[in-house]
Structure 1
């Protein structure tokens, strides 16, 4: 077991009690330290991501290094405003008074990260926790060992390690962490492990944010710009980490008459992106490890699916590569339509009319994201109104997650809680209500002895009726 796992929460609690993490200066210094990491160690970060996932340099820079840098800059720009108490109106019930909502840090928090975006998804929650003034422990994913090791090294060099710690390890270390009392746990990963996290947190009444996943649908109508739709669907399915993304399109829905047109467009654009032999393309990320490679090939080798593959299917186990693959009209009870894919396989489900897609989506568990490509205003409105998902994007895939002004999080099986931008700050803050009054305006009616006259006065006051108040005062 990694040194310092047992008792780390208590150690941080004593540091938090000094109050230093609550200061604006400390928060800024730590956010600037993370910014320095992205600026001075881009090459090392990109190399670690390539070692873990064979991520192309551009993808590693754009979605991980630059992503962390953007999040940090946004937090630094907005931090002073986020920390300011929010003034709110008061009612007649407390008149005369003033009130405000004060954001205070929760205390000592635990961030358990995942492997598919191991740099971004480790540090973005940490940025939120620090911005809110907490002491924090980061547990990176052991499935991305190069990035985990680099995070330990860089945060150890740049951060205040008395209040920001990295704990490496696997199940034993995570179990030891979960046995301790935290003021918030933030977990990104699978629903199976999410249930374990939630059960452990319940023992201490610890609130949690669970960023999970699910089968995210993308509906493709026929009245679209087909080339743009195909390119964006490919980007949202295959370009982002070879489909190993929680908000990747897990399956597509289109009409029976449009399916072949969509497949042809996807095939044409995929060849432009990755060539005729995509498993040899350096622009296609690898599968994270042999376990997940075998899991994905099992979905393809399902006898209910093997005859339904209309594009791709090639595999290179030595390099953990699977070509972008499309499966058309797999049976409803097939594995590929019932398990979260988290890889470069896209089943396409066909319906008689595009409106039927909404009924199909609603019959399943609520996804982390849902997508629709259409120019039909009525269909857009119905989709947004009827489909329950963590987030929705129209004529795009995944880009809603890049907007710091939008909350990112799941619902139902796809998670609970949200973050990004100020929502990250709020996720690690307690909203403390503060009411202030002076010593004037202290009506005797609120105190015993209780009389009919006092009752009438209080009823009048709480009703807000000036006439009733005057009548009560003069004894009417």
Structure 2
């Protein structure tokens, strides 16, 4: 917390990072590559401590911690290490003949000193993955872990302190509502990268605008899941259960509500119940199923259970921050359960007969971060891709589009600004610098005065 480390200490960190960046130390390929490799090694050395912290904060099983946090980070690190050299090379571009004899290039410049703010739901992955992009891009970085996942914040600080000089990468702890505004108001970062809720995203964008600070906002929204009548329901049910109830539903791209064709609705509901019980047992075990992050979120989610009919689950235990995987029907589309991002293990279910009905419901909460469609009809697939504005999504699956580093991850409209993952992370933390180089062995002279009789020649080159 700034109050704990002192204002002068915080400003010293920022000033030292600015000086370190200006020294040019972060610019070379070898430096960036070495830092990525060091980060990978220190994570490997601290794997068990990371697993223990995630279990303490969110009751994550080691399998889930590896598959959705540590393993995802390794994938990003390996991808960046393998491709960094090619990403850094200037990109040659075509040049109009009128500019002969010239050649054109795009260079990728580091932004400078950046701030990365992480959420609590995937507190390791969603802090370290952007950091990979910042390192690959040649930047200095201030990291703000979520105070709501304190065990993970502690191990992250330990890792970062162990491997990096704070003049290069530093960690700031404390209450985000106090620390972040003070950080941003007292210093202009060259980029603020935030993952979290839409209201906080608005507040960060407002502060950033005062200093013309660019932002990348990875927010959320209500991600729909549609199941058409022509699908393998067993397959759909398993993937919906996994996508919705991983991390106890505390996933920004989890299916937020389910729309299923009325002719298959009853059957799908029964299969979702079946596979939920198979995956987690009828009383989800303490080891395989997560818990709600804190009592405030628990209370919010518990209140949602009163806004419709519970048709499966609904059990709660406040002492354990436990809410069972839950299906609900007859939820008003104007209820908070259907206007807020749920961010928990509650899935409202609606039936439909026509695609028009599904679009009407989606448009009530437009621009979702994710969109999921189960269908075997290519025309139906194309219909929704064309009609729905969403950040990213899957056909006949959930969540796994995040696992492909060749695909950008980010929102649209209310669900976010900007995108990252793989090369898109490198692009997010660099800026394109245009350079045109002209040879000196020839000069047409057409651009110089006097212009008499030159207009005809100019029109030959710049045709309308």
- Give the TM-score normalised by structure 2: 0.96
1:62 pairs with 2:62: no
Q: 1:439 offset after TM fit, Å? A: 1.9
The separation in 2 between residues aligned to 1:14 and 1:332, in whole angstroms, is: 53
The separation in 2 between residues aligned to 1:332 and 1:77, in whole angstroms, is: 47
Partner of 2:415: 414
Write out the 4+ residue segments of structure 1 that deviate beyond 6 Å after TM superposition: none
Partner of 1:148: 153
The separation in 2 between residues aligned to 1:377 and 1:6, in whole angstroms, is: 56
Partner of 1:461: 461
Q: 1:261 offset after TM fit, Å? A: 1.2
1:464-475 → structure 2 map (5 Å cutoff): none
* Per-residue deviation, residues 45-103 of structure 1 (Å, max 9, x unmatched): 00000010011111011211111111111110000010001011100231111011000
The separation in 1 between residues aligned to 2:387 and 2:333, in whole angstroms, is: 22
Equivalent residues, number = 457
Partner of 1:471: none
- Which of 248, 252, 270 pairs up with 2:276? 270
* Per-residue deviation, residues 299-354 of structure 1 (Å, max 9, x unmatched): 1123xx1xx11111000111101000001231222221111100000001222224
Q: 1:442 offset after TM fit, Å? A: 2.1
* Per-residue deviation, residues 251-270 of structure 1 (Å, max 9, x unmatched): 01112332211110101111
Partner of 1:9: 14
1:316-465 → structure 2 map (5 Å cutoff): 316-354=317-355, 356-451=357-452, 453-463=453-463
- Which of 183, 186, 190 pairs up with 1:183? 190
1:138 pairs with 2:143: yes
- Which of 82, 94, 100 pairs up with 1:95? 100
| 3-state SS of paired residue (2:35) | helix
Larger gyration radius, structure 1 or structure 2: 1
8 Å CA contact 1:48–1:150 kept in 2: the answer is yes
The separation in 2 between residues aligned to 1:325 and 1:253, in whole angstroms, is: 15
The separation in 1 between residues aligned to 2:182 and 2:316, in whole angstroms, is: 38
The separation in 2 between residues aligned to 1:442 and 1:334, in whole angstroms, is: 70
| 3-state SS of paired residue (2:367) | coil
Unpaired runs of 5+ residues, structure 2, are none
- Which of 285, 298, 304 pairs up with 1:299? 304
The separation in 1 between residues aligned to 2:393 and 2:292, in whole angstroms, is: 27
Unpaired runs of 5+ residues, structure 1, are 465-476
8 Å CA contact 2:17–2:166 kept in 1: the answer is no
The separation in 1 between residues aligned to 2:10 and 2:240, in whole angstroms, is: 43
- Which of 281, 288, 292 pairs up with 1:287? 292
- Which of 246, 258, 272 pairs up with 1:252? 258
The separation in 1 between residues aligned to 2:429 and 2:228, in whole angstroms, is: 40
Q: 1:249 offset after TM fit, Å? A: 0.3
| 3-state SS of paired residue (2:154) | helix
1:166 pairs with 2:171: yes
Partner of 2:133: 128
* Per-residue deviation, residues 220-264 of structure 1 (Å, max 9, x unmatched): 11211111110000111002x111000000001112332211110
Partner of 1:472: none
Partner of 1:52: 57
The separation in 1 between residues aligned to 2:164 and 2:73, in whole angstroms, is: 15
Q: Could you tell which deviates more after superposition, 10-19 or 419-428? A: 10-19
| 3-state SS of paired residue (2:116) | strand
The separation in 1 between residues aligned to 2:4 and 2:343, in whole angstroms, is: 30
Partner of 1:198: 205
8 Å CA contact 2:221–2:365 kept in 1: the answer is no
| 3-state SS of paired residue (1:165) | strand
